[in-house]
Each structure stands twice: as structure tokens, then as C-alpha cells.
Amino acid sequence: MLQRSGRMLGLALGVTGATAFVAGFGSAAVAEWKPRKPVEFVVMAGKGGGADKAVRLMQSIIAKEKLAAVPVVPVNKPGGSGAEALVYMKGKKGDDHTIMFTLNSFYTTPLRQKKLGIDVTKFTPVMRMAEDTFCLWVHSDRKDINNVDDFVKAAKAEGNKWIMAGTGKASEDNLLTDFLNTAYGLDMKYIPYKGGGKVAKELAGKNANSTVNNPSEQLGFYEAGKTKPIACFTDDRIGLFKDAPTFKELGKDFVYYMQRTVVGAPGMSDEAKAYYKDLFTKVFNSEAWQTYRKKKALQGDPLSGEDLMAYWKKERDVHEDMLKKMGELN
Amino acid sequence: MTVRTAELLMGLALAVLSAYFMWKSAELPIGWVPDVGPGGGAWPFWLSTAMLASCIWILVNWVRRVGPVANNESPLFEPGNFLPVFLVGSALTICIALIGGIGVGGFEGIGFYGALPLFLIFYLKVMGNHSWLVTIATAVIIPVVTFLFFEIMLNITLPKGMSEPLFLPIYAFIYSL
Amino acid sequence: MLEIFGLLAQGFTVALQPFNLMLIIVGCAVGLFIGAMPGLGSVNGVAILLPLTFLVPPEGAIIFLAAIYYGAMYGGAVSSIMLGIPGASTAVATTFDGRPLAKQGMADKALTIAAMASFVGGTISVILFTFFAPPLAHVALTFGAPEEFALMMLAFATFIGLGGDDLAKTIFSICIGLVLAAVGLDIMSGEPRLIFGDITGFLHGINFLVLAIGIYGIGEMLWTVEENAKAGGKSMLSEATLTWQRTKNNIKEFLGTWKISTMGAFLGYFVGIVPAAGATPGALLAYGIGKQMSKEPEKFGKGAVEGVAAPESANNAASTGSMLPMLTLGIPGSPTTAILLGGMVIWGLEPGPRLFTSNPDFVWGLIASLYAANLFALILNILFIPAFIWVLKLPFTILAPIILTLCLVGGYAPTKDMHDVWLMLLFGIVGYLMRKLDYPVAPAVLAIVLGPLAEPALRQSLLISSGDPSIFFTRTFAGPIMVVALILLFMPVLMLIYRRLRGGGKRKAPSESAAE
């Protein structure tokens, strides 16, 4: 109805934003199954965060391009680093109207909280929409820091007075900080904050010495000349920051991405699985999503089905290994 | 029960609750971690301690008969006042239990739109003594308005429980418009 | 300066296009209704309607959402006054005096004052916004965890005046609110705490709304049911009537509060600018300071018009203030602006320091639309007052189940979890019994709002300083704020000692009557 009232508003105001997009192909089986009530789109994070924004963008694309006959409704379940969302999805076994948007806490939370009894390989793989990247950032006023060697020198000099801000304990940012500490023999102090936007602001306001933000979180400050990337945790250099090398280039083989993936409830029917795969392929190929990917320096090809499952298994093992090294797991 | 007795019982109950919070908070470090500041359990633990302390203070006031409540020997509920409060409280409790079930016996609940009319009929007929016409009209209009406003306009889906299948044709109709 | 007028004029040409003007009016009306529903504040309103805006161009979209935000801020007061249930945390302080006024049959007065104070707060803050946006943004940027904690201490200091006569029970109420605020995940250690035997429903913590709707919605209903039984079935509110004479008087009374409304506007704006603080602490501070400024502080809490004007002016000013870090820095000043920010990204804008130069049409169009939104929200609000008053004329036995229905939806909607509905019922019943025994409940509700802001700020600060508390006193902004907060906090004690030493004064000092 939201789309509907939107449509009516659009018509009434004489703004026909988009022409109906009719997919004329797809196997017969795909055409068979359609959602019969509003689809719940669970977000493993709170309102206003990066994942939430992406979900609301997808919701808008689906509404605008009329890709689904029913509304897709975001439901935020941020509790316990995603534990709440995972337990909720587990309880929705066999449900064809519940999907979830996941981050890397998809791997780390079940590993750290074993008693939840979550096996992520039981979930239904739908579509990997993107992989977000990470870079090491410092304030632009630090004219003495222009490359990783400068950074290491400066951070060493300050010892544990060097403050690295990040999002939450044992999160992606924490993993990367630990990696830097180990790889370069540093003793940076990690301060957890709530949300990547807040972290980016702490650096721009000089309340932290460095961060390992996603480019999207620092982009505004970067463009205003307040912060600068030193190096990135990617395979290849990021188009927006051609001058920032990758840690791989510098001889530290450390590549780390944040998955942005749509997951179905465990035991979802094959017909529904095919429907959502088709739906999110259309979302992925939409102009709005492609623009968003480019703006946010997102990487990662679309991945679904068995390939996505294989990716999960690989990433889960990688995270288990990292958490063990951090001493968060034994 | 007099107000004075209720004050004692409430003070004791809240003291037990405070102690329970203290015990649960102590699952995380409650002391000062060197170089870090207070541990993860410190905030709730010490505030629960303050809760316990104020409960003890309240109980001391009770013993010493300090303050109007501790001296109030009149009944907590005047005759005839307890029943309506109890009825409304119970009706609400039963209504919530009916919406989503209580996790016993696989009962999923009859959903918001199943339980709400029952609650409305009870309230209007028993508490309000309205005519059947007013009662039934309200019991129909409020759920329908709720559905249209929250579910259709604002996309806030409310729990349906067992009544879910009944809504599929309604959705099919609305989304085909 | 002249340049700003030029830009603003250009902005008005965007905002006053018929299409955009229509969006402003529709947005204000929609926001007003969503804000007036208990449980659906501006955050939910903006989040729910975000996808709609994809259909209009970005300027129109932000104008529409900003109008909803504004309308919801006006509407928040309606639920506080009429039902005694704060629809959002920002409107908690409005219940303190708005509710007693309504109970005395002066709902029309409370609603008029709230609307006009909101207008004053909104307009003053937009003017401040127009002329001092970029420099203030830079100050806001330097605010870190120590400053946030100092600001929270300042808000706590104003609590002192909100308790009942019984100090022990007031302390209990504050502490239980702060403890309940700690339920869920501890972000500093990444460990769940106080989840009471791994009940997953506690993992997302205890939402402020669950406690507020429980205590003020269900608890208040039970209370009124009992009152009604005592009175033999009379309506819960004395009916307010609406006449020209009364309206004129209401406006006159509002004009009498101009000092306090203006104070609220400035205070709310500056507190709102601080990222993460948002409108709630601003409204509380304004209430506390308003009480100190008032000639009749003893009336506060019993239906003082100033007690409605101060927080309403401040929370609207803060909602404008919180847009400043959003537009200039790309960081949200409140949960609602976090969603607006998401919207801007969806529309293809890059919020941040360059926005003012790269998209002047957008920024100035928005600023101009805020002026217009304020005006329309005021007009609509005033026009709707008769409708709100009419609702109160329904028999209590019809109104009560409607309110309870709204409570059920409001408790469920934010998290979509029945667990929270049960918790709400529990808080309602316990809160009702506590009220019968003279436990003040407002401090608990405020504590659960401020707790999640204060605790991480405290621990982040101490982590930065390696456990050295002097960090709160040695920084440029944190130091003075902290000192003022501590003085306010201990003022009642100091005044007591002072009075004892002087052998007891005849006239009560304002801060002392605040401690009553």
C-alpha cells in the first residue's frame, strides 16, 4: 500500500517517476510462486546505520520499479550484535515471507555466542548484493603521515596513547585493529563506538587518531579535506582513492571485506528461493543500486545459490581463525 | 490490605529485585579495570546497589513510621474499587496472551485482529454497560481502522497468529488494486 | 551577511513552488498525526514514509520528510497532553505540566501553548540555523565522549526537581531507570548483560517506549479506572470548552512566557547541535531552567503554562539543531536525522561538509522550507485543536479501550516483538502500584532515555584517558559544562547547609523548592 499510496501520490502530483518494469523472462517455476503477504526484511542492525540505509534503498527500488506485488517491510533487530536477528530467523524455519540483510556479524556472532545454536549454513542463500571495503584513515592535519611507514612510526611513538576508534567490540573494525597491531608491532588503543558514522566523526573532530572506516562513512570528510586514507584492505586499489595502496601491495597479505547479503529463512521452499533470486537480481541490476555501489565504493559481484554458500563457509572459517587469534575464541 | 502493609510488601519486593539485578550484573566485571575504567557490569551493579540501599532506606522509614505513606492505615483499595482495576488488568493480560500465545501447547494465538474485538466487546459491554449496537459497532470499527491505518498505510504488520490465512485474500485484493 | 539573504531568497523560490508547498502542507499534516500516536514518534514516521519520497525529486523529498519531522515534533505534544503518554522521548517533559492542565479541563490551553511554543522554538532555531550553520558545525565536530558525558550530567542535574517528596523513592526511581537502560548488549565489551536467562527479547535492550507506554499508557489507564470507580463513572478529564474568549486568553498567557520560550529555543538549538544528544536532553534542560527562571516555580508539575512552553520550544528547536550536523558534517544529531541522512544518500546526495557548496539549491531550499513548515505546522495544529478536544468528549469507557489499543500497537511496532508488549504490561501494572505508593515514575522514564547515552560516553572517556577522571575537567568544553552540572547537582545540598548556617531564611530559594 505504501507503494500504492506512493503511486497515487505520484500520479496525483503528475510525477510518473518510472515506467513499469516487466520482466518477460524467467522459468515457469519462477512465475508460479509469488509472495502473498508483505515480506519482512529483517536488518541485523539499528535504524539509520549502513545496513539499514541499504535495506531502505532496496525497499525503495522495489517500490519504485514495482518489482514485487506486495510491500517489502524492513524490520530492525539490532540486539546482541545480530544475535536477535539470527535467532528470529532460525525461528522462522520454512517461512517464505521472511528475508534478512546480513553483515559479517552473520559469521562472528554465532561463533562467539555458541549457545545460540545457530548454524549459518542452514540459512537459505539468496543474493550477495555487494562487498564493502575498509581503509585505514587519519586526519588530514597529520601532514607527517603520508604512507603506512609514517603511520607506523607515529603510532609507535605514542604507544598505547594512540587511539583507534571503531564500531563495537570484536567487530570488523576490532579485527582490523588487531591485525595492524600484530603486523606492525603496535599498541594502539581500540575504543568502541556505536555506529560507523560516529566513528568517522570522532576522527574528523580529532578525538581519535585513526580509524578503519568503510569509504562510504568517511567520504564526506574526505571530500572536505578533513581525513585521508593511508592504505586499504582490498585486493586492488579503490577507484576513488588511487593514491592509497593496498596492504597486499605492501607485502601484508590481508584482504578484508564486509558482505552485504540477502539471506532467506532456513528451509525456504525452492520456488520462493527462485523468486527472491530473481527479485534481487533485478534490484542489483537497477540503475539506482549501481549508482549506489559506485558512490559508496562497493565491490563484489552478485553471488547466489551454491556459490554463495561456498563463500559463507570460506568466510566463516576465516573469521573463526581471526577470532581465535584475537583471543575471543578458544 | 492497608497502604502501610502494601508499602512494606513493595519495599521488600523491590529490595529482592535490586539484589537480583546485582547478582545478574556481576556476571561481567564490576570493578575498576586498570587503564580501562569501570568494567562491563559496573554501571548496572553499582546502580542496583543504590537501588537496594534506597529500598533499605524506605523500609527504615516504614519501621520508624516516617512519611505519609508509612502512616497510612487506610485500605489500599476502597471497597468496590479493586474489582474494576482487576478486571481491566486481567482483560488486557488475556488479550495479549490471545494475540501471540504464551508459548505453551503450540498455541500461536488468534492474532491481534482476533483478540482485539473480544477485548473491546468485554470492555464496552461489561465495564461500560453500553448497548449491543454501540459495542458491536466499536468492536468492528476500531480493528478495521487499525488495519487500514497501520497495516495498509504505514506498513506496520501486527501479529496474526492462527488467523493469518484469513488475511491472504484481503492482501490479494488490496495489492491488486 | 548579504550573501546569506540572497541564498535564502533563492531557497524560498524553491520552497514556495506550488508542488513543494503542497508537500510541506501534506507532510506537516501526516507528521502531526503520526506524532500524536503514542509510540510512533518522528523516527518511525520518517522511516516509514521514506520510500514514498523516492517518487519526487530530491529537493521535494527532503522538504517532505523535514515537514513530517516538524509535524511529528508538534504532534508529540498532543499525545503528551491529551493522553499523558509521551509519544516520543522528546515529549516526556511536556507531560509534566501539559497533563495536569488537561486534567483541570484546560487541554485547549495546553495545546495552544504547546503549538505556539513549538513555533517560537522552531522559528528562532531556523533563524540561528540560517546565519550560524557552518561555524557551529565545527564546534560540534570537536565534541567527543567527555563532552557528551558532561552534557548528560547537566541533564541529570535537572532531574533533581522532578522527584516527589520522598528522596529515597526518587533515588530508587532514577536508579532503576538507569539499570533497565543497561539491559542488552554492552557495546564496550561486546557482551550481553542482564538478559535474565538468555531471553532473546532482552537482547535489543529495553526500548524507552516500552517503559513509557507501560507506565503512562497502561498504568495511567488503570489509575483512571480506579478514579472513575471512586467518582462513579465520570469522564477522566474535565471537558475543555473552546471559545474565542478562551483562545484569546490562551494566546495572552503564552505571550507572558516569552522569556522562557526564547530561552528554550536557544538552549534546545545548542543542545540539539551536539551529535547524538538530540532533543530529549534539550527539552529536559529547558524544563529545569524554566523552573528556575519562573516567578512561580511551585506551580511546575501542577499545570504551569511555562512548564509546557519551555520543553516544547526546546524540543522543536533541537530538531532543527540536529539537522545542522547532518547537513554540514554528514553525521546525525538524532535518530530521526540518521534516517533523513539515509534518505539523502538514496536521493543521490552526498551529505557532508561540501554539501553547502555543491548543492546550494538543495540546502537553501530545505532551510527555506523549514520556515514554511513551521508556519503550516502551527496553523494545522491550531486548526486541529477542536478535533482533539472533541475526542475527549467521548465516554471514558469508549476512549479507554481505544487508548489501550493504541498502547498495544505502540508497544509492538518499534521492535515487532510480542516480548515487548508483555514487558509493557508488566511495567504498567508495577508502575501503577508504585504510583499508588507515591513512588515518582517520571525520573525512571527519563533515566532510561539518558542512560544509554551517558554510560558509553563515560566509559569511552575513561578508556581514552586510561582511567583518569580528570579528562572531564581539563577539556575546553567538557570542563565548564561539568562544573555547572556538578554545581546544579549539589545545589540543593549546598542551599540546605547555607540555610542552616543562616538560621533558616524566610523566602524559599528557587533551587530549594526545585528539590521538593
- Residue B32 has a pLDDT of 87
The C-alpha cell that represents A22 in the structure block: 516487466
Which letter does DSSP use for residue A167 in this model?
E
Mean pLDDT across the stretch A101-105? 91
Report residue C277's pLDDT band, with 50, 70 and 90 as the boundaries: low
Residue found under cell 523552573: C291
Mean pLDDT across the stretch C340-357? 71
CA distances for C510 relative to C293, C412, C513, angstroms: 8, 42, 5
Residue found under cell 526484511: A41
Report residue A56's pLDDT band, with 50, 70 and 90 as the boundaries: confident
> Residue B174: which of A1, A40, A73 has the nearest Cβ?
A1
Report residue C506's pLDDT band, with 50, 70 and 90 as the boundaries: very low
Do A193 and C456 count as a contact with CB atoms less than 8 A apart? yes
Q: Where are the beta strands (DSSP E) in chain B?
A: 32-33, 37-38
> Residue C194: which of B24, B76, B112 has the nearest Cβ?
B24
- pLDDT, tens digit, for every residue of C191-202? 888 888 777 788
Give the count of alpha carbons within 13 A of C129, CB side only. Answer: 34
Assess whether pLDDT exceeds 90 at residue C476: no
Q: In whole angstroms, what is the distance from residue A254 CA to residue B25 CA?
A: 38
- Residue A18 has a pLDDT of 32
- Residue A280 has a pLDDT of 95
Assess whether pLDDT exceeds 50 at residue A9: no
Side chain identity, residue B145: V
Q: Regarding predicted confidence, which is higher, C360 or A300?
A: A300
Instruction: Count how many residues are written for chain C.
Output: 516
Q: Nearest CA of chain A to the CA of B69: how many Å?
A: 40
| Residues C19/C59, Cβ–Cβ less than 8 Å | no
| Residues C212/C89, Cβ–Cβ less than 8 Å | yes
> Residue C203: which of A61, A79, A193 has the nearest Cβ?
A79
- Residue C62 has a pLDDT of 81
> Residue A5: which of B151, B153, B168 has the nearest Cβ?
B153
Report the SS3 class of residue C15: helix
Assess whether pLDDT exceeds 70 at residue A111: yes
Report residue A33's pLDDT band, with 50, 70 and 90 as the boundaries: confident
Which letter does DSSP use for residue A65 in this model?
T
- Rounded to the nearest integer, the mean pLDDT of chain A is 84
Assess whether pLDDT exceeds 80 at residue A79: no
Mean pLDDT across the stretch B98-125? 88
Side chain identity, residue C316: N
- pLDDT, tens digit, for every residue of B157-177? 899 988 888 999 998 888 887
- Residue C344 has a pLDDT of 77
Report residue C55's pLDDT band, with 50, 70 and 90 as the boundaries: low
Instruction: Give the CATH fold of the A30-132+258-325 domain.
Output: D-Maltodextrin-Binding Protein; domain 2 (3.40.190)
**Separation of CA A103 from chain center:** 5
Residue C191's H or E segment, with its range, is strand C191-193
Assess whether pLDDT exceeds 50 at residue A140: yes
Assess whether pLDDT exceeds 90 at residue B140: yes
Q: Regarding predicted confidence, which is higher, C268 or C227?
A: C268
Mean pLDDT across the stretch A212-236? 88
Do B167 and A2 count as a contact with CB atoms less than 8 A apart? no
Report residue A101's pLDDT band, with 50, 70 and 90 as the boundaries: very high
Query: Of the ranges B88-97, B136-145, C6-15, C371-380, which one carries the lowest mean pLDDT score?
Result: C6-15
Q: In whole angstroms, what is the distance from residue B30 CA to residue B139 CA?
A: 52
> Residue B78: which of C48, C230, C429 has the nearest Cβ?
C230
**Angle (CA) C26 C31 C33, round 5°:** 105
- Residue C192 has a pLDDT of 83
Q: Regarding predicted confidence, which is higher, B19 or C161?
A: B19
Chain B contact for C232 (CB, 8 A cutoff): no
Contact list, C192 vs chain A (CB under 8 Å): 80, 83, 113
Query: Of the ranges B38-52, C53-67, C87-101, C322-336, which one carries the lowest mean pLDDT score?
Result: C322-336
Do B142 and C408 count as a contact with CB atoms less than 8 A apart? no
- Residue C271 has a pLDDT of 84
- Residue C508 has a pLDDT of 42
The DSSP line for C64-121 is: HHHHHHHHHHHHHHHHHHHTS--SSGGGHHHHHHHHHHHHTT-HHHHHHHHHHHHHHH
The answer to whether the A30-132+258-325 and A135-232 domains have the same CATH topology is yes
- Residue C353 has a pLDDT of 63
Q: Where are the beta strands (DSSP E) in chain A?
A: 39-43, 72-76, 98-102, 124-132, 135-139, 163-167, 189-193, 210-211, 227-232, 258-264
Residue of C nearest to B23 (CA): C194
Q: In whole angstroms, what is the distance from residue C281 CA to residue C87 CA?
A: 16
Query: Of the ranges A90-104, C137-151, C397-411, which one carries the lowest mean pLDDT score?
Result: C137-151
Q: In whole angstroms, what is the distance from residue B41 CA to residue B31 CA?
A: 8
The C-alpha cell that represents C196 in the structure block: 535474565
Torsion of CA A225, A226, A232, A237, to 10 degrees: -10
Assess whether pLDDT exceeds 80 at residue A25: no
Q: In whole angstroms, what is the distance from residue B94 CA to residue B110 CA?
A: 12
Right CATH for A135-232 from 3.40.50.970, 3.40.640.10, 3.90.1580.10, 3.40.190.10: 3.40.190.10
- pLDDT, tens digit, for every residue of A170-199? 888 998 999 999 999 999 999 998 877 788
Assess whether pLDDT exceeds 80 at residue A325: yes
The C-alpha cell that represents B140 in the structure block: 468492528
Task: State the maximum Cα–Cα separation within chain A, in Å, rounded to a whole number.
Answer: 66
Q: Strand A124-132's sheet: what is its strand order?
A: A72-76, A39-43, A98-102, A258-264, A124-132
Query: Of the ranges A149-163, B1-15, B91-105, which one carries the lowest mean pLDDT score?
Result: B91-105
Report the SS3 class of residue B75: strand
Contact list, C34 vs chain B (CB under 8 Å): 154
Q: What is the ipTM of this complex?
A: 0.94
Q: In whole angstroms, what is the distance from residue A165 CA to residue C458 CA?
A: 15
Provide the 10 A C-beta neighbour count for residue B71. 12
Contacts of B124 (CB under 8 A, 6+ apart): B130, B134, B135, B138, B139, C397, C398, C401
Chain C contact for A4 (CB, 8 A cutoff): no
Q: Nearest CA of chain C to the CA of B147: how many Å?
A: 11
| Residues A31/C78, Cβ–Cβ less than 8 Å | no
- pLDDT, tens digit, for every residue of C107-118? 889 999 999 999
Assess whether pLDDT exceeds 90 at residue C46: no
Assess whether pLDDT exceeds 90 at residue B135: yes
Mean pLDDT across the stretch C54-83? 83
- Name the packing angle between helices C2-15 and C18-36 (round to 10°): 80
- Residue A278 has a pLDDT of 93
Mean pLDDT across the stretch C232-260? 76
Assess whether pLDDT exceeds 80 at residue A60: yes
Which letter does DSSP use for residue B86 in this model?
H
Mean pLDDT across the stretch C373-395? 85
- Rounded to the nearest integer, the mean pLDDT of chain C is 82
The C-alpha cell that represents C440 in the structure block: 515518582
**In chain B, % of residues over pLDDT 70:** 99
DSSP bridge partners of A73: A40
Report residue A224's pLDDT band, with 50, 70 and 90 as the boundaries: confident
- A/C interface, count of CB pairs below 8 Å: 173
Question: What residues does each domain of chain A span?
Answer: 30-132+258-325, 135-232
Q: Nearest CA of chain B to the CA of A121: how many Å?
A: 27
Listed residue (B50, A6, A123, A138) closest to C174, CA to CA = B50
Report the SS3 class of residue C189: coil
